[in-house]
Chains A and B, each alone.
Chain A
Amino acid sequence: NAGVTQTPKFQVLKTGQSMTLQCAQDMNHEYMSWYRQDPGMGLRLIHYSVGAGITDQGEVPNGYNVSRSTTEDFPLRLLSAAPSQTSVYFCASSYSGGSSYNSPLHFGNGTRLTVT
């Protein structure tokens, strides 16, 4: 069981470039989310989705787009990369059902992004 798979593991971009961080899960989880992790800031929610075709903004959505065309995939798009987007990005998913309120998140291993 692969769980949550993120690609790539590392990426270097120049300011103004665009790219897509990929996230896929094979647990049939309805809920998926993207966090960024910065030193001294903990994890901050960028965008999340409660099911295919449904997305919503988190705490720090500016500069990022998401879509959810399938249950399995939840890509994160950087439209025009900026140095402030240098971070480690984590995708996470959880089961959505009657007890989804209490279901834990399953995290991928992260993508380390550097914008120069």
Chain B
Amino acid sequence: GDSVTQMEGPVTLSEEAFLTINCTYTATGYPSLFWYVQYPGEGLQLLLKATKADDKGSNKGFEATYRKETTSFHLEKGSVQVSDSAVYFCALNYGGSQGNLIFGKGTKLSVKP
């Protein structure tokens, strides 16, 4: 069945370092892909999304490109801040049931000053 695999955490970086969180997916169709972020004590928030191959989603300095050939949607940011410390979830939306998302297990990011 459809699934999402993302890199294990936790990831610890210094402020202004480059961030990559890997995400690959398995899907029979052409899913939409999402990155959600969860700050401590809160629910998840949509960070960015891409709905078709080669689309690039971007928000708050984060980017991810939908790569159909490698079935990947890696999250990147050029210069992280302490305020980016959170748990990041990659997800896909399969078309069989509207709104149902399959989430990866999450990657915890800690950014040190």
Residues of A near any B CB (own CB < 8 A)? 4, 31, 33, 35, 40-45, 48, 50, 56, 58, 90, 92, 94, 96, 100-105, 107-110
Residues of B near any A CB (own CB < 8 A)? 32, 34, 36, 41-46, 49, 51, 89, 93, 95, 97-101, 103-106
Q: Which of B34, B99, B103 contacts A42 (CB 8 A)?
A: B103
Contacts of A110 in B (CB 8 A): 42-43
Whether the Cβ atoms of B105 and A48 lie closer than 8 Å is no
Whether the Cβ atoms of A105 and B105 lie closer than 8 Å is no
Whether the Cβ atoms of A107 and B98 lie closer than 8 Å is no
A17-B48 Cα distance, complex, nearest whole Å: 40
Contacts of A90 in B (CB 8 A): 43-44
| With contact pairs A4-B43, A42-B105, A108-B43 given, residues A31 and B34 touching in the complex (Cβ less than 8 Å) | no
Least CB distance, A30 to chain B, in whole angstroms: 9
Whether the Cβ atoms of B49 and A102 lie closer than 8 Å is yes
Whether the Cβ atoms of A41 and B42 lie closer than 8 Å is no
A83-B61 Cα distance, complex, nearest whole Å: 41
Q: Which of A33, A56, A105 contacts B46 (CB 8 A)?
A: A105
Whether the Cβ atoms of B44 and A105 lie closer than 8 Å is yes
Contacts of B32 in A (CB 8 A): 101-102
Contacts of B93 in A (CB 8 A): 101-102
- 10 sampled A-B residue pairs with Cβ under 8 A: A42-B89, A42-B103, A44-B103, A45-B100, A50-B98, A92-B44, A100-B98, A101-B93, A102-B49, A105-B36
Contacts of B106 in A (CB 8 A): 42
Q: Which of A40, A43, A103, A108 contacts B99 (CB 8 A)?
A: A103
Least CB distance, A82 to chain B, in whole angstroms: 23
Whether the Cβ atoms of A43 and B43 lie closer than 8 Å is no
Contacts of B46 in A (CB 8 A): 104-105
Least CB distance, B107 to chain A, in whole angstroms: 10
Contacts of B44 in A (CB 8 A): 43, 90, 92, 105, 107
